[in-house]
A and B are shown apart, each in its own frame.
Chain A
Amino acid sequence: MKAKTIDKIATTIIVVFSLLIVAVLVGLLAFILVRGLSHVNWSFLTSVPQTIKAGGGIGPQLFNSLFLLVLTLIITIPLGLGAGIYMAEYAKPGRFTDAVRLVVEVLSSFPSIVVGLFGLLLIVNTFGFGFSLFSGALVLTIFNLPLIVRITEQAFRSVPKEQKEAGLALGLSKWKIITSVLFPVAIPSIVTGTVLASGRVFGEAAALLFTAGMSTPRLDFSDWNPLSPTSPINPFRPAETLAVHIWKINSEGLAPDAAEIAAGASAVLVILVLIFNLFARWFGNVLYKALTASKRTG
Chain B
Amino acid sequence: MKFKKPLLMFCTLALVAMLAACGNKDEGSQGSTSGTNNDTAALSGSVLAVGSTALQPLVEQVAQKFMADPKYSKIQVQVQGGGSGTGLTQVAGGQAAIGNSDVFAEEKLKDADADKAKDLIDHQVAVVGIAAVTNPDVGVDSLTKQQLIDIFSGKVKNWKEVGGKDQAIVIVNRPASSGTRKTFEKYALGTSTEDIKGSIQEESSGTVKKIVAENPGAIGYLALSYLDDKVKTVKYDGVEATVDNVKSGDYPVWHMSICTRRASLNQKLKHSLITWLPMKYKKVT
Contact = CB atoms under 8 A, between A and B. Distances in A.
Would A and B touch once assembled, by the CB under 8 A criterion?
yes
Size category of the B interface is 20 to 34
Contacts of A249: 206
Interface string A193-224: 00000000000000001100111011000000
A35 B228 CA distance: 22
Interface stretch (B81-89, B162-170, B253-261): B81-89
B37 interface: no
Interface of A: 51-52, 120, 124-125, 128, 130-131, 209-210, 213-215, 217-218, 229-230, 237-238, 248-254, 258
B86 A238 contact: no
A125 B48 contact: no
Given A130-B48, A229-B46, A214 B95 contact: no
A125 B93 contact: yes
Main SS class of interface, A = loop
A217 B93 CA distance: 22
B81 to A, nearest CB: 4
Contacts of B46: 217, 229
Interface stretch (B72-80, B117-125, B266-274): B72-80
Interface string B222-259: 00011000000000000000000000000000000000
Nearest to B93: A125
A250 B80 contact: no
Contact of A252 (B57, B82, B86, B90): B57
Interface string B18-38: 000000000000110000000
Contact of A130 (B56, B95, B203): B95
A215 B78 contact: yes
B106 interface: no
Contacts of B90: 125
B80 A210 contact: no
B180 to A, nearest CB: 12
B243 to A, nearest CB: 15
Interface string B48-81: 1010011011001100100100000000111111
Nearest to B61: A51
Residue among B77, B82, B89 with the highest chain A CB neighbour number at 10 A: B82
B89 A125 contact: yes
B57 A209 contact: no
B89 to A, nearest CB: 7
B146 interface: no
B191 interface: no
B207 interface: yes
Contact of A209 (B30, B54, B67, B82): B82
B81 A248 contact: yes
A248 B53 contact: yes
A210 B80 CA distance: 10
Given A51-B61, A120-B86, A252 B56 contact: yes
A289 B115 CA distance: 67
A214 B82 contact: yes
B86 A213 contact: no
B205 interface: yes
B177 interface: no
A253 B54 CA distance: 9
Contact of A52 (B61, B81, B204): B61
B78 A217 contact: yes
A124 B206 contact: no
Contact of B76 (A52, A128, A217, A248): A217
B207 A254 contact: no
Contacts of B78: 131, 213, 215, 217, 237-238
A254 B57 contact: yes
